């Protein structure tokens, strides 16, 4: 029996009662409908890079989305419109867009997982989010039992959220349409660390391929890429917590060197990594077989023999330290399954 540990980047999780690999859209919808009509619990899985599955596994049907294919039109004026199946590898898709001389996804290079999962938490990195370039999302609505096409404004994109995340499990994403700019010049570089690596000022534009290379270099150094079959992989789900967004009053009470990013509504986004480090959560800290990454404090890792329970406990310890030190709650970015 396949353990879900084999299908997730944290490499933890017990067996699924039933496991289906859906390689076609009709097959995917049929598997979902069958589970729903039998009132069987259902888990949709892409690359398993943002889930923490219980050691007991999943008491129902797990459908792994492996649908493939894309169609695209590239026009001299309006740029590229690309409709991409949910099961396509996210990073292979990003590389494909750069080969086609289309820009705007280069900062999101190296993020593991599938195209279909990208809108769920509105993936983001280096100051850019995927919601900025999504034109449409086609999804099967399990409540209405019909396919609905969401326009970008209907997707409700926000920081690490969307309608698809807010109503967990209601929508099965079938494909995503991206609108990309023609050209080989990147979006402005918004992160100082990346600008330094590129040898440019913050705000500069650079060739998209060069930006991708530098992003991959920085991500690899932090263990933030996950390459199939590579022994260099660190077993994590990327950043385990989101950056908290708090009131201006709460942010003002923090030490002056705490990074602060004022939001359009006046609230302030803080750095979860800074809060952890200054609350006494150390890189390399362990609980059982779980370990805070040596390279990136926000990544909780499975050191090899870790269980889901170990990771949950290490997360709880980190949350308790930040709460005791700063009175701030850290919220997991990772989805807990059957925990």
Ligand X SMILES: Cc1cc2nc3c(=O)[nH]c(=O)nc-3n(C[C@H](O)[C@H](O)[C@H](O)COP(=O)(O)OP(=O)(O)OC[C@H]3O[C@@H](n4cnc5c(N)ncnc54)[C@H](O)[C@@H]3O)c2cc1C
Q: Which is nearer to ligand X, 80 or 124 (CB)?
A: 124
The three-class DSSP label of residue 52 is strand
User: Mind spelling out the 3-state secondary structure of 241-291?
Assistant: ECCCEECHHHHHCCCCCCCEEECCCCCEEECHHHHHHHCCCCCCCEECCEE
Q: Which is nearer to ligand X, 165 or 205 (CB)?
A: 165
Residues that bind ligand X in the complex, under the rule CB under 6 A: 9, 43-51, 65, 86, 111-114, 116-118, 120-121, 123-125, 171-173, 224, 226, 236-238, 335
Instruction: Indicate which residue of 142, 239, 291, 293 is catalytic.
Output: 239
User: In 8-82, which residue ranges form alpha helices assigned H by DSSP?
Assistant: 25-37
User: Would residue 333 show up in a list of annotated catalytic residues for this protein?
Assistant: yes
User: Would residue 160 show up in a list of annotated catalytic residues for this protein?
Assistant: yes
Contact 132, 94 (CB under 8 A): no
Q: How far is the CB of 223 from ligand X (least distance, A)?
A: 7
Q: Which is nearer to ligand X, 44 or 272 (CB)?
A: 44
Instruction: Indicate which residue of 160, 181, 205, 295 is catalytic.
Output: 160
H or E stretch at 194: helix 192-198
Q: How far is the CB of 300 from ligand X (least distance, A)?
A: 11
Q: Which is nearer to ligand X, 250 or 303 (CB)?
A: 303
Q: Which is nearer to ligand X, 15 or 113 (CB)?
A: 113
Tokens of 78: 């309006």
Q: How far is the CB of 267 from ligand X (least distance, A)?
A: 20
Q: Is the dihedral of CA 159, 163, 167, 169 positive or negative?
A: negative
The three-class DSSP label of residue 11 is coil
Q: How far is the CB of 327 from ligand X (least distance, A)?
A: 26
Instruction: Indicate which residue of 106, 129, 285, 333 is catalytic.
Output: 333
CB count within 10 Å of CB 11 equals 18
Half-sphere exposure of 251 (CA within 13 A, CB side): 19
Q: How far is the CB of 234 from ligand X (least distance, A)?
A: 7
* Listed residue (289, 292, 272, 284) closest to 332, CA to CA: 272
User: Would residue 212 show up in a list of annotated catalytic residues for this protein?
Assistant: no
* Catalytic residue set: 160, 239, 333
């Amino acid at each position: 029996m396949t353990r879900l540990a084999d299908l997730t980047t944290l490499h933890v999780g017990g067996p699924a009662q039933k496991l289906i690999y859906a390689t076609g859209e009709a097959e995917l919808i049929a598997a979902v409908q069958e589970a729903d009509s039998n009132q069987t619990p259902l888990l949709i899985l892409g690359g398993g890079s943002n889930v923490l599955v219980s050691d007991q596994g999943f008491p129902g049907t797990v459908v792994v989305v492996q649908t493939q294919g894309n169609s695209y039109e590239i026009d001299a004026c309006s740029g590229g419109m690309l409709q991409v199946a949910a099961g396509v590898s996210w990073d292979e898709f990003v590389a494909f867009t750069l080969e086609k001389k289309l820009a705007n996804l280069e900062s999101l290079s190296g993020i593991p997982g599938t195209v279909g999962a990208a809108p769920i938490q509105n993936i983001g990195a280096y100051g850019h989010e995927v919601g900025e370039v999504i034109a449409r999302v086609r999804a099967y609505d399990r409540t209405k039992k019909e396919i609905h096409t969401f326009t970008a404004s209907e997707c409700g994109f926000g920081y690490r959220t969307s309608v698809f995340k807010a109503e967990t499990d209601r929508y099965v994403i079938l494909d995503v349409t991206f609108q990309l700019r023609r050209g080989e010049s990147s979006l402005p570089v918004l992160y100082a660390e990346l600008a330094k690596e590129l040898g440019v000022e913050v705000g500069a534009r650079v060739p998209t391929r060069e930006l991708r290379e530098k992003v991959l270099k920085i991500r690899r150094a932090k263990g933030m890429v996950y390459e199939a079959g590579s022994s260099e992989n660190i077993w994590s789900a990327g950043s385990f917590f989101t950056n908290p967004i708090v009131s201006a009053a709460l942010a003002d009470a923090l030490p002056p060197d705490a990074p602060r990013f004022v939001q359009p509504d006046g609230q302030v986004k803080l750095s979860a990594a800074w809060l952890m480090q200054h609350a006494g959560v150390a890189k390399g800290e362990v609980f059982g077989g779980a370990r805070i990454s040596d390279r990136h404090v926000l990544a909780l890792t499975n050191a090899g023999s870790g269980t889901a329970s170990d990771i949950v406990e290490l997360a709880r310890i980190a949350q308790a330290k930040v709460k005791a030190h700063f009175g701030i709650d850290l919220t997991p970015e990772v989805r807990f399954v059957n925990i």
